Chains A and B, each alone.
Chain A
Amino acid sequence: MPLLEVYNLKKIYTTRFGGNPVQALTNVTFSLKQGEFTAVMGESGSGKTTLLNIIAALDKPTSGEVFLNGKDIVSIKEKEISAFRRDNIGFVFQDFNLLDTFSIKDNILLPLVLAGKSYEEMIELLKPIVKRLKIEDILEKYPYEVSGGQKQKTAIARALITKPQLILADEPTGSLDSRSSSELLHLFNEINKDGQTILMVTHSIKAASFAKRVLFIKDGELFHQLYKGSMSNEEFYQKISDTLILIATGGVRNE
């Protein structure tokens, strides 16, 4: 059974003052197997973030279904949704979304505090992760005192600490310089090797070339997909790049 199944997802935004409704997602169907590292690519406004928000249960679709491990996300009650998100999904955002009022350590522990774990348990879970991400030295520092790369690592640690089924990353390299980006993407690869399922939204070809599979989304529809197979990062990069050009010029599937 796939870990994540998305069927016929449709999302229409209507403005409050009765303006023209905007169709963010027209009809999206795909599935994600356990242990996959998949990137979703598309231009700004193509519906990537809407898709991610629906999978994360931050937003409700107009129609369609989303199953995580066989559980219907769309029909989860409002009250249980936060706990569900906390236990099953880890988030990595473009602008890190760290809280300035917490030290790096407290930022990482936040989901565990929300889950009501004891302090001893928290430390048990924290140790291996920070060692792995090499951020042990900055635990007592504050977000404004560390670099962008370190902030994003903190965000990853925060996403990993609850041992989620799925990690959702929204433009994780968007605010990073190229060196930090590479480091981060390698880190994603490593985590993925350990069996962590990752779904990443990006419009960076480089970021996408690290994934095993790339889904292309255009005007709210799933347009095309590529598998990396045995390709190297560079080859895959070229392939993605070509595909994007084709999509942009309307080549692959003429409309």
Chain B
Amino acid sequence: MNRFFYAKLAVNNMQKNAQTYLPYLLTGIFTVMMFYNMSFLAVAKDIGSLSDSGQLRKLLSFGAGVIAVFSVIFLFYTNSFLIKRRKKEFGLFNILGMEKKHIARIILWETLFTAVISIGVGLAAGILFSKLMILLLFKIITFQVTFGFEIPVTAVINTSVLFGGIFLLNLVYNVLQVHLSKPIELLKGSSVGEKEPKTNWLIAIIGAVSLAIAYYIALTTESPLAALQLFFVAVVLAMIGTYCLFTAGSIALLKMLRKNKSYYYQLKHFIPVSGMIYRMKQNAVGLANICILSTAVIIMLSTTVSMYVGMEDLLRTRYPRNILVSARNVSDEQAIKLDAAIEKQALEAGLIPKDVIRYRSMSFPVSQDGASFTQDHSNNYAAGNIAMVVCLTADEYNRMENKSVSLDSSEALLYTLKGDIPGDTVNFNGFELSIKERLDSLETEDKMSALLTNSYFLIVDDVDTIKQIYNSLSGNQGDMGELSYYYGFDVAGDKDAQISLVSALQKALKEINADCYVEGAESARAGFYSIYGGLFFLGIFLGLLFMMATVLIIYYKQIAEGYEDRERFEIMQKVGMSRDEVKQAIKSQVLAVFFLPLVAAVIHIGFAFKVITKMLAVLNLTNVQLFAGCTALTILVFAVFYVIIYGLTARTYYHLVS
């Protein structure tokens, strides 16, 4: 026998099965390309010239990791689908006298071809696109583009090894599949009589409960820091819930519908309900996958897009003034010196401070219980009752707001940034102050911190009262020290001038007070862009990957179902169903299968919306409207995309069925 007989047979097989093989090959090529590009970016020399390259590299390596894990799962899934469809063919070979080892040889050749094509073409395309990718990344993070072209050997090796491994895994799986089965089973392949699925109430209830808990967490979590911690719990619960409900819940529901005789025995319900019971048995996991992938794509895209689009907002939230100076434990003399130094440096830089906010205060992190506060020992910022109380003196307040308020030592003015203090008094571990007035506004520092915890500004008569609060809270332990110092201002200068002013201030102020901290929005901008831009890039990249996965899962589902449904609809036509009725039945089934995951994904996102806004607040994005808009737009784009896939696959499906 010719040495290349099996190789030829393998090529022939792949051509004959192009309808299922081509998408598999394209997936292979595409995932290889994406993985190469991501690992290329993670090690690319050009990125080294970035000031914040470490963070960005970490992000990109993480992205490469995600793609790697995803590729393993996804290519394995696609392969197992292919091999299931082809069992009949192998059975035929077996019966025609081919031994299993010969079939294994065919499979070996097929896998080899697939691997070589996928990795070869994928790498070539990846290398070709790598320059484009780095240009895109640099554009997104607003970094100067460098010229040059590189092919990092490590990236090429990593890609080849990873995907070589995946295809080896698939090969082993396929050979095992053929070895473990008997020829007659191979011949029957996928058409072994299907048992009706049983209703598993336990799993259905577990699913409903975990989903309910996940939604409850998502809706009731108020503190953004708690949101960060609980979000992953909620995500895991929602995933469990989705899988359980898609697998067991759907069947339980359909069987309940079937029990309702007058509902079930109607033409428009009879065929879809019974068909769906079977379909859900085979496809529930696939549909749950699609649902979770869609949710992930939409959330990833909407958050990263809104952070990127809202970058300026975000910078302003994080840096309420272009230049911020803060220091702790600043004595009165030091404060005067600091003021002078700041003015001097600004003058030397030729910049005039505008919109100045300047005050001295004392902050207490406390636990709040209604109107009484005690010292917080837990340092657990995720706890709901933590609050920040910032105390200012009346003199400071009068100077800031141009007022002439006078208070006595048991009175205070209250400005609430976030939270609520009921009643007319506040109590600090026994030390009580009466609230003389609640203020509507106060020019204060970063509003950001307020979004994380409850925050109150308290204006008292003088420093002694602040000390009394301190002593009462701490139980007369230690000395409060001096007040903190805060100085924020905008300047009109360009980026470079601002950055150099920040570094000049850093140097000058350190000499006066060691605990002094100077920040500038412009100095931080590059870092923000590299992180959030990197996230945005990753979001688009992974979004594309997940979307491709969704497309492919749906495509394979439709084809698999098309083959199975063809027989059913033939029978129905013989029994007296008209073509139109058949078409209608097909349509309602396909629609349900198709849009169930999308609808479930949108519901998930609806419930997750609030908790995501909280988390974005931690990342300084407070513009809820922007996020809402981005989410709506992402869902819309995704839905349009989805409908297009639906149109394409539904056509293949009709073609198979009729």
Chain A residues within CB distance 8 Å of chain B: 56, 58, 78-79, 81-83, 85-87, 91, 93, 97-102, 106, 109-111, 113-116, 118-119, 122, 142-144, 158, 162
Contacts and interface: CB of A to CB of B under 8 A. Distances in A.
Given A100-B193, A142-B196, A158 B262 contact: no
Given A99-B572, A101-B274, A101-B568, A82 B195 contact: no
Nearest to B277: A101
B575 interface: yes
Contacts of B580: 79
B571 A99 contact: yes
Contact of A144 (B195, B261, B576, B577): B195
Contacts of B581: 82, 114
A77 to B, nearest CB: 11
Contacts of B194: 100, 144
Contacts of A102: 274
Contact of B575 (A78, A114, A119): A114
A81 B568 CA distance: 19
A217 B267 CA distance: 39
Contacts of A85: 576
Contact of B270 (A78, A87, A113): A113
B568 A114 contact: no
B265 interface: yes
Secondary structure class of chain B's binding surface, majority of residues: helix
Given A86-B576, A99-B568, A106-B274, 11 more contacts: A82-B578, A83-B576, A83-B578, A99-B571, A101-B274, A101-B568, A110-B575, A114-B581, A116-B266, A118-B262, A122-B265
Interface string B581-604: 100000000000000000000000
Contact of A113 (B193, B196, B267, B578): B267
A121 to B, nearest CB: 10
Interface string B161-185: 0000000000000000000000000
Contact of B577 (A82, A101, A109, A162): A82
B278 interface: yes
B574 A113 contact: no
Nearest to A141: B196
Nearest to B274: A101
A87 B278 CA distance: 29
Q: How large is the interface on B (under 10, 10 to 19, 20 to 34, 35 or more residues)?
A: 20 to 34
B265 A119 contact: yes
Given A101-B277, A110-B572, A119 B261 contact: yes
Interface of B: 193-196, 261-262, 265-267, 270, 274-275, 277-278, 568, 571-581
A102 B269 CA distance: 13
A74 B257 CA distance: 40
B195 to A, nearest CB: 7
A211 B20 CA distance: 49
A122 B195 CA distance: 26
A86 B265 contact: no
Nearest to A121: B265
List of 4 A-B pairs having minimum Cβ-Cβ separation, nearest first: A86-B576, A82-B578, A144-B193, A97-B571
A115 B195 CA distance: 28
Contacts of B577: 82, 114
A78 B578 CA distance: 9
A118 B262 CA distance: 8
8 contacts: A82-B581, A87-B576, A93-B574, A99-B274, A100-B278, A113-B270, A119-B265, A122-B265
Contacts of B568: 99-101
A82 B275 CA distance: 21
B578 A58 contact: no
Contacts of B275: 101
A79 B577 CA distance: 11
A235 to B, nearest CB: 35
Contacts of A58: 574
Nearest to A80: B578
A23 B267 CA distance: 39
B575 A91 contact: yes
B406 to A, nearest CB: 85
Nearest to A84: B576
A123 B653 CA distance: 35
Contacts of B193: 100, 143-144
A128 B324 CA distance: 91
A91 B574 CA distance: 8
Contacts of A86: 575-576
Contacts of B579: 78, 82
Nearest to A159: B575
A110 B193 CA distance: 20
Identify which of B196, B261, B575 gathers the most chain A CB atoms within 10 Å of its CB: B575
A37 to B, nearest CB: 22
B264 to A, nearest CB: 8
B4 to A, nearest CB: 32
A68 to B, nearest CB: 14
A109 B266 CA distance: 11
Contacts of B574: 56, 58, 91, 93, 97
A87 B196 CA distance: 30
Given A83-B576, A97-B574, A158-B575, A114 B267 contact: yes
Nearest to B191: A100
Contacts of B571: 97-99
B368 to A, nearest CB: 60
A82 B578 CA distance: 5
B267 A111 contact: no
Contacts of A79: 578, 580
Contacts of B265: 109, 113, 118-119, 122
B588 to A, nearest CB: 15
A87 B572 CA distance: 14
Identify which of B266, B573, B576 gathers the most chain A CB atoms within 10 Å of its CB: B576
A111 B261 contact: no
A99 B576 CA distance: 14
A172 to B, nearest CB: 14
B259 to A, nearest CB: 12
B64 to A, nearest CB: 44
B576 A111 contact: yes
Contacts of A143: 193
A41 B274 CA distance: 38
Nearest to B192: A144
B272 to A, nearest CB: 11
A111 B578 CA distance: 12
Contacts of A116: 266-267
Given A114-B267, A114-B581, A119-B261, A82 B576 contact: yes
Identify which of A81, A99, A106, A111 gathers the most chain B CB atoms within 10 Å of its CB: A99
Contacts of B196: 142
Given A100-B193, A144-B193, A82 B573 contact: yes
A114 B266 CA distance: 8
Nearest to A86: B576
A119 B580 CA distance: 23
A56 B576 CA distance: 10
B460 to A, nearest CB: 77
Nearest to A81: B578
Nearest to B265: A119
A113 B572 contact: no
Contacts of A119: 261-262, 265
Nearest to A113: B270
A8 B196 CA distance: 48
A143 B194 CA distance: 10
Contacts of B572: 99, 110, 114
Given A99-B571, A144-B194, A114 B576 contact: yes
A101 B258 CA distance: 12
Identify which of A114, A115, A162 gathers the most chain B CB atoms within 10 Å of its CB: A114
Contacts of B578: 79, 81-83
Contacts of A162: 576
